[in-house]
Each structure stands twice: as structure tokens, then as C-alpha cells.
Structure 1
């Protein structure tokens, strides 16, 4: 039989890197699935064509080849008989030669629980894939699985605050059962979602020019009202009117022409109320420091002697905290959903442990979702109270999806690979842990619009432990307010911002970009939006506003991952500063390799909290 298999491979023009081992494994597959020599070689020919392999048969591909054979056999069984499922021997047993002759077809146990997303016809496929795709033998096949350094701490915040909680365990050789036994029980966190978030099935793509006008006008008017209410600035005037004395105006930074913003010329567009929406040229030569971008709403002190150019002496790109301090009052939190779990009176409501990760959750060379499996294994060991996962989950930019070579719908991939794994994680860890999901505009299985409604995930299916929030969204866990947005606003601001720093001044560019989000009180202050952002102005008016400063701000980006404490407020104005932890978890998968995620232990305030950026 081995000679026949070898002859068939040679007939097709294939050669071997380890002839004896490959022929032995192929013989095992033929016996297991009752295949002829021509059948096994034909299957390999299809496998190699789909993956663009050369004409050398390598032993390292045998595990993945076995998975294809199992999928083919499963399809044949389903065509013949419904209700029958295929189960095979363990991969390691087959490859090591310690296999036994067992029947490939077994009846499905009647008492096996099923869920909405896992029908009886799909349960074998899920079991088959999880058993043969994610076991250790496959680690030698994919670049991600063959990596050596796992869970390496990349950077830390307040290392002295809690060193033990973020120490990475180096013992990866123990079985999963041993890891689960070491898990220490923790307290369940309370969870309240923002009531104003978009619901699944909301109406979009019907915004009008009027919606765009009202959105921009309201932003300028809100900023003017906030600056005046702080009692630090007088009522704004029309900046386009000639005046020899110093004036105060509020308006939006605009480009005179299409393309990137340039220092010359920069325009300031005031509100309809104060100037009829007129634009005036803004001269920044007298400023030794500024940071501006299109769409930024600022206050400007200066004078306009000719009526054609406003010469700025000061730019106010923030709202004094005294003007928004009332937003932090507990009465303002009535907008949070009170219908979820009530807090445990015995627990400290200012403490929260969470893990934050942003997609893609699978590498670019396959759809095995290995990084997600590794993340969930890490979460089983650490057992955070909250797991925050940000899209994309089914990435529309993934090469396999772009080529259209997948044989499942996007919804099937999401329910099997994402929700199925999360349900297994929750069933394993118990009722203590909770999961938050936020979609992305890159999710192939969801609405392509921004702001974006939540996934249609029914809490009853997962005992209220898996929740989906809109993009952007705000939630409160243990009275710790967390704000998230999956649009890469940091990268887009970085491409549009122009700035000037004094000599010897700080050049913390990432920190300054993140501060723009809070200073503008908007998740997306850039206007006009980037070409790839489907901004719907009819939905943006309330959902993009940041009504109060969050304790934790999560902004996933392709830029360098970081965890920083942002200090808001001007100390030289004599007002108290407010601190916020800003997180860019990076991407869990980067190309064919692993990326980063963030682990946070929040304890009352940013100064006593700790966090670490971990390379998976």
C-alpha cells in the first residue's frame, strides 16, 4: 500500500522531505477512512492548491491535512444520513502511531445539551474543529503556534502599586485541568450599560444635510456655553468682524482646501448664532505652542484689525473641569441601565480587574482563532472580573474573507468561533466572570455604519454574562466608568494633526492625541471624517458625546500600544486636575504572529492602579 501511495505522489509530480514518515501517516489515514492511494493523493493535491504549496510534501503539514480529510468525510456522512456525526481518534494518537481501530461514526448522545448557536448538525463540526485544530500538535504548523515567547510583559503602569497581580506565570506545561484547579474565586462585579446606546436593528443611512449641519452647529454651541459657564471667558463674538481690541471667539478648525491641514492657511468657522457660519482666516504665528486638527472646536483669544484675518494670541482647546464637574454627580448616572446585576454590598465598589483585547482575533494566514484561544486560556488562569473584547471579530480585511474561500457564512463564524468559545469560557469559570463585546466597522457580520449598534446577542442565552454594547459605548463596572471606541481615531488624528512645541517641551504625541478625545468631549472629533468611516450624522448627535470624564478610556489603534495616565485640566489656572487611564491594547493578532492585550487592576484611582501591556 505504501508503494502504491508513493507511486501516486510521483505520478502527480510530488516529492517528499521525509518519505518514510509521510508514507506511514498517509497509510494510517487510508486505513482510518478507507481511502485508496489515488484518493489520498487527490485530497493532498486539493489541499496543496488551496494553500499555494510547492510540490514538496512536508511532514509538518500532515496535521492540517488530516483536518481536511475529516471535513471531507463529515460532509459525506451528512449527505447520506442526518443525525449521525463523525468522531475520530485524537490527533496525537494518530501521529504517534498509538491509534486503535475504532468506528468513525457514533450516535450523538441524547442528553447532550444544545444551545441556540450550536445546532445538532453543527455540534460535531465544532467538536471536531476544537479537538483537531487547537491541540498542541498544530503549534508546529502555524507561525503563531510555533512561537517560543508567550505572554511577555511589554510595558507596565505603576509597577510598584501591585506587582504580584500582574506577574506572568511561566509554567505553561501544566494541563488545562491543573490551571483551572489553581483558579482562586473572586467577587462578581456589578455592571450597568449606558441606556442611550444604539440598539440592534436601528435605522441608518438616512442622514440628511440638515443632520450634518445640526451636528456641527451643536458642537460649537456646546463648547461656547461650557467656556462661558466656567466664568473664565466672556461671551464669544463674531471673529470675522474687524476690531482693534482683543476679542474672544469660539469656532471649528477647518481646511481652506481639500487635503491635509496646513498651518497656512487655517480657517475658523464660528456658529450661525454669532457669525452666520462665516469662516475667517486664523493666524497662528504668535503662538509658541498649539495642536490642532480639522473639526476641532476651540476658543480663540486674539484680534482682527482688518476683518480678514484673526491673529490668535491664545487657543483654548479644552473645557475647564469646573464647567463639567456637575456631570460627575451621582444623579447624572441615572442614564445607566439599572436592570442588570445589583452590586454586592460587601465588595469594594472602586476596585475592578479586567482584561482588554482588540481584534483581529485570528492571524492572517488562517481562520483558526488561535490568539483568541490563548487569550481565553490566560483569562482562565488570571480570572479577571471582566473580559472586554473589541472588534473586529470576523475581520472583513482578512485575506481568506477577501478571497471568498471560506465555506461558512460570517454569522456562522462569529457564533461558532467567538460566541461558542466565550460560552465555553464562562461555563468553565462559573458565574463570576463577565464579558463585554463591542463591534467594529470592519466586522463582516455586522452593520457598516458609525456609530454602530450592538451585536444582537440575547442575554438570556448566556445568563447575562455576555453583553454587547454599541460602538462607541460606555458602561460602569463596580462604579468604574469605562468608555470604548473601536474606530482607530488615534491613527486618523495622527495623520491630520499639526502641532508646534516650544524648545525643550514635552513631545508625548500619543498622550496628546488621546487627550484630544477627552478635551473635545467626543469619541470622534475629526471632521470631515476619514474616507473609510461611514459616519451617520443622524445617529452621531448623542452617541458620540462624552458627557463626563471616564475612569478608563479604551482606544484600540494600529499605533504603538500603551497604557497611560492622562491629566486633564490646566494647573496654572488653579483648578484641580482630573486623571484618567487611557489604554491602547493594540491588536491581538498582527499578521501571522501574535499581538498584544492589556491587563488592568483598577483600585480607586489611577495612581494606585496597575496595568500591563502583554505580548501574546
Structure 2
């Protein structure tokens, strides 16, 4: 079994350091947790991604952390099988010894204590909370400073500075008492132009009425769109039926799918072609001749290969990206014009320059509903005013412990209007007409429709200033002619659990985070995964074009539970050129009982001239 484990690591592109010790411990894990080698390596890939390890090397030093990750997976599996089962922790024992009343304590707000936490809590790295002690940061709360006791506020965690202008001077200013005075002397921001691309469902729409026909048409249209784009490029011939036996090489287009319910692997990969070319039939796809690939269920690809038996298509080349589409190719101009008149926009800027602050929810810590991180973020935005403040849900998080327990005495709409909209109203009134705020909902918003794609918030009462604008989820808009796409569904994390890849034997391993974000561009879809994750309420009857990327954005905002990042990615080769895009994951503004991160970005004409910072709050 040790040899099988070693072979599986090599197949996934991982080298072994301290090989004997690593294999011995991995063998123990397989025996203790009843895992086969392929399942163990799948778990290691998830652990490797979440820990943001730099080198594709399995080290003995990581085995303890990997053990905790396996324990977490086992615990989740047990809870899923027996939802009423309670796993006792040291906190439960202390509560019994001290004769504490758990129900009473849950209803009384208090200051977080240093009591021991759940033994398994540090292995969790999801924002889904099973109790108040498990944090989205994946750390036990005793290792996280409560929000009100922080000392290092607004510390820069990561930065890119390659734009030699006045913003660089601001980045170099020390955080001392003279900072505000110097910033006030900087040239004031000008209001940015906004153009909203309205392609998603409207507020108040009916949903969860999709039919099998809607799903079939959505998938078939994706395959047809890719087929037409590849043929129109002139680089590929007309697709053929991949299920017909033939000794000669053919070109075909289809969707990757799995022949089972488990995770995709190179032995279970099928290719489903279009109804036009094969009647929608599937054929097994053999990938052994490919030196490198990266595939996932729902991905539409072009395949060159031959099918000698009629039962298996042996791939010799895989095409996973499309030629770049023209800007706004699929966008009706009346939609943009109508919205321009509605909000009385200023003229378009002659320069593609934009400053923005980007933050993703939750916006309050798990120990209260005071929304202190949001208050701090708005205070920072007042001191260093951006042209655009982009806030992505969840705003009223359905996973918050107090909301899950039903201990609040206000409706979700009241919390949203009093804690979120009222604070944003105060912010824009204080900042003046130059400030603009974009809101993007999340399927975790307790006060909004649980459906994806998701309509915008209905936040247009007469007293609300027009500077606060709500988008659909996913959303696409332009600010100063800078195209920005955003989606609050954690597609990166979901893709990371489904994707399989092979790195070239003699090539440098690719950056997996960049590769996952690039799939969004190459598939020209905000959510290319199919079937969707279990927790995603996908409705194919609601404007399926809402999930499409009508053009490659300049900035792609993808909030995720994985570690924050700002990366320049490309949609792959398109007629010998590469279209670059800045992908941003700002992290979560609140993580458990502590603060999280947000992103500050200054864009100037292109992805190579930006200033970007990830700031801890």
C-alpha cells in the first residue's frame, strides 16, 4: 500500500520529502480511517490548497496538520450520517463540572473567554458554523483576538505596488499621527461613472420552477456556444461524433462529466457531446496521452483524438479555452442606457483609472450582531476615500450563531435596514456626491431570496440616496470604463474539490489558485461547475445568460473562504495573444470572533499598472 500511496502522490504532481516517514504515517492514516490511497491523496490536495502551501512537496512537518484535517472530515461524515449526534468537547465537560446552564448562557451577550474550545475546531476552514466556537479562519477562538481587543488595526497583509503615482506616496506613509493631515492634502477623488449590465433576474421574480428541459437547454447551449466559437476561430475543423469507431483522428466538443457519484478521476471521466453531433451520448475519455490537463465536471472542452473501438475516445489534445469575445458582444445597449438615465450618471471618464475598496461578508463577528467590522471599514473609507466601495454579501448571515438559534428579537429586514443600509446612508451623506457604493447579495443572506442566479436587493425607497446601488449575483458593471465582474458564491472552493489536473513531468508546477480562477475566464461562465454543489440553489429557468461572461473583465472579484489573494490571470492563448485580468479574493471582513481582511485597489489603464493591498482589520 505504501507503493500505491507513493504512486498516487506522483500522479497528482507531489514530491515526497522524508519519504519513509511520510509514507509510514500516510499508511497509518489509511488504516485508521479506512481510506484507500486515492481517497487519501484527494484529502491531501484539499489540505494543500487550504493551507496555501507554496511547494508541491509532501513534508513530514505537515503530517500533524494533515491528521487534524482527516479528523475533521471524519467528524463531518459522522455528523452528516447522524445529524442528531452530539460530539462532546472539553467545553461540554467544563460546563457540566461547573453546572452551567448552556441555554441561559447562549441568550446572554458576554465577552469571549479563554476557555478551552472544541478539540476539532482548529481543523475547520469553512465559514459554515456549527457553533459559536468554530471560526471561518480555521483557528480555535482562543488563538484569535476578540474584535474589540485588537492592537494592530489595518495592517497590510499583502501588497502589489507598480503604479508610480500619488497613490504610491500614500502607501509609503507611516501609520502615525500625521497620516490624516497628509491624506487630506492629496487631490480629492472624482466621482466615477457607472454602467450596470442588467442581465440577471429582477427583484420579486418567481424561482425554483425550473424544469428538466431548462437544465438540458442550458447545458446544450453552452456546448453549442463553445463549438461555434472554436470553429469560427479557424483553428479547428467542424466537430465529429466522438462515439463512432474510427482509426483516424477527429475533433469534437463536449462537456466533462463523471460516470459515478464520487469525485472525478482519470478513470471515471466521460465526454458528453451535443445533441446535434452525437444525440447527447457520452463516451469514456482516456487522458493518458496528455502530458498536462486540468478538468472538472461541467467543463466544456475541445478534444482531438481517435476512438478505435467505439467505446473510448483516446485524447491527444485538449482545448479548454475559447477565443476572446468582443467586449459587450452579448449585451443589449438599451439595458445600459436605461440604467444610465435612471441614476443620472456623469460622463464617461477619458482615462481608465479607478480606486476602490472591496470587502466581503460576514460583516459582524460570531459573538454579536453589532457589525463592528463594518463600522471600522466605513471609518477607514472616510479617511482614505475610494471612488467606489464594493460590498459583497452575506450581510445578514444565515450561518451566524444567533440567527441559527433564533435568539434575535428583530426581523432580518430590520437588521439589514438598520445595521447595513442606515450606516451606508450616513457614509454617503458624509462623503458627498463623489462616494458610490455597490451591494452584491449572497445566497447566505437571510433577508433575501435563496436562489442562484440571484436578483438584486430591492433597496430603492425614496429616502435612500441613489449612490447606493444593488447588483444581481453574479453581477457585471463598468466604472470609468473598467469592466468588473463579481460573484459571491464560493466557486473557487467548490472547483478545488472537484478539479483534477496533471502537471508536465519536466515543467514547473502551475499556481493552482490562478488555475482555478482562470477556469472562470476560459469557460466564460461565473459558475461552470455541473452538477452544482449540493448547497447551491441553482435555477436554470432564471436568466441563464446571467451566469455568462459577456466579455473578459478587467477585474474579477471572487470572495472565497480560501486565503485572500490578488493575482493577474489570463484566459489563455487567443490568436497568439493573452487577455489579462486581475482576480481578487478580499477574504472575509469578519472571521469568527476576530477581524478579517478587505482589499484596497487602484487601477490605472491595465493590469500591469495597479496598486493593491490586502488589509487586516
TM-score class, shorter: 0.7 to 0.9
Return the offset for 1:567: 2.1
CA RMSD of the aligned region, Å? 2.6
Question: Is 1:170 aligned to 2:175, yes or no?
Answer: yes
> Post-superposition shift, 1:247?
0.3
Find 1:508's aligned residue among 505, 508, 511. Answer: 511
Q: Does residue 526 of structure 2 align to residue 523 of structure 1?
A: yes
Q: Counterpart of 2:363?
A: 361
Q: What are the superposed Cα offsets for residues 199-255 of structure 1, whole Å, 9 maximum, x if unpaired?
A: 210111110010000001000011000000001001101100011111000000001
Helix, strand or coil for the counterpart of 1:352?
A: strand
The alpha carbon displacement at 1:171 in A equals 3.5
For 2:565, the equivalent position in structure 1 comes to 562
Name the structure 1 match of 2:616.
Answer: 615
1:90-489 alignment runs, 5 A limit: 143-159=146-162, 161=164, 162-167=167-172, 170-171=175-176, 185-321=188-324, 324=325, 326-327=326-327, 335-336=335-336, 337-339=339-341, 340-344=343-347, 347-458=349-460, 460-489=462-491
Secondary structure of the equivalent of 2:251? strand
Q: Deviations over 1:178-214 (max 9, x none)?
A: 8996685321111111122322101111100100000
What is the distance in 2 between the residues matched to 1:52 and 1:327?
52
Report which stretch shifted further, 524-533 or 539-548: 539-548
Q: CA–CA distance in 2 between the matches of 1:225 and 1:608?
A: 35
CA contact (8 A) 2:199 2:543 kept: no
Distance 1:536 1:440 in 2: 15
- DSSP 3-state at the match of 1:377: helix
What stretches of structure 2 of length at least 5 have no aligned partner? 1-101, 114-143
Q: TM-score, normalised by structure 2?
A: 0.74
SS in 2 for 1:446: coil
Q: Residue 551 of structure 2: SS of its match in structure 1?
A: coil
Give, in angstroms, the shift of residue 611 of structure 1.
1.0
Equivalent-residue separation in structure 2 for 1:213 and 1:259 (angstroms) = 22
User: Partner of 1:14 in structure 2?
Assistant: none
Contact 1:157 1:564 in 2 (8 A): no
| Contact 1:355–1:598 (8 Å) recurs in 2 | yes
* Distance (whole Å) between structure 2 residues aligned to residue 211 and residue 498 of structure 1: 28
TM-score calculated relative to the size of structure 1: 0.74
Residue 159 of structure 1 and its aligned partner are, at CA, apart by: 4.1
Deviation at 1:540, TM superposition (A): 4.7
Q: Secondary structure at the match of 1:539?
A: coil
Structure 1 counterpart of 2:54: none
1:589-608 per-residue CA deviation (whole Å, 9 max, x = no partner) reads 01111111111111111111
Partner of 1:22: none
Q: Distance in 2 between matches of 1:348 and 1:568?
A: 26
Aligned-pair CA distance for 1:164 = 2.3
- Cα distance in 2, alignment partners of residues 494 and 356 from structure 1: 23
- Find the counterpart in structure 1 of residue 594 from structure 2: 593
Question: For residues 294 and 223 of structure 1, what CA distance do their matches in structure 2 show?
Answer: 16
The verdict on how the C-alpha distance between 1:266 and 1:49 changes in structure 2, with shifts beyond 3 A counting, is closer
SS at match of 1:462: coil
- 1:293-343 Cα shifts (integer Å, max 9, x gaps): 00000000000011000000011000022xx2x335799755423323333
Provide Cα deviations, 1:259-287, integer angstroms capped at 9, x if missing partner. 21111120000000100000000000001
Cα separation, partners in 2 of 1:170 and 1:589, compared to 1, 3 Å: same
Distance 2:395 2:445 in 1: 6
- Mean Cα displacement is larger for which, 155-164 or 526-535? 155-164
Q: Which residue of 2 aligns with 1:50?
A: 107
CA distance, structure 1, for counterparts of residue 550 and residue 329 of structure 2: 11
For residues 361 and 272 of structure 1, the distance between their equivalents in structure 2, rounded to whole angstroms, comes to 46
Aligned to 1:605: 606
Please state whether the residue corresponding to 1:227 is helix, strand or coil.
Answer: helix
- Following the alignment from structure 1 to structure 2, what is the Cα–Cα distance between the partners of residues 429 and 227? 48
Q: CA offset at residue 513 of structure 1? A: 0.2
Q: 1:53 Cα deviation (Å)?
A: 6.8
SS of the residue 2:206 aligns to: coil
Counterpart for residue 63 of structure 1? none
Q: Which protein shows a greater Rg?
A: 1
> Structure 1 residues 181 and 537, CA, compared in 2 at 3 Å: closer, same or farther?
same
* Inter-partner Cα distance in structure 2 for 1:377 and 1:52: 25
Indicate how the Cα distance of structure 1 residues 510 and 142 shifts in structure 2: closer, same or farther if over 3 A, else same.
closer
Tell me: CA distance 1:280–1:164, structure 2 relative to 1, closer, same or farther (3 Å).
Answer: same
The 3 A distance-change label for structure 1 pair 186 and 249 is: same
Query: 1:555-595, CA deviations, whole angstroms, 9 ceiling, x for partnerless residues?
Result: 0000111011112332xx75221111110111000111111
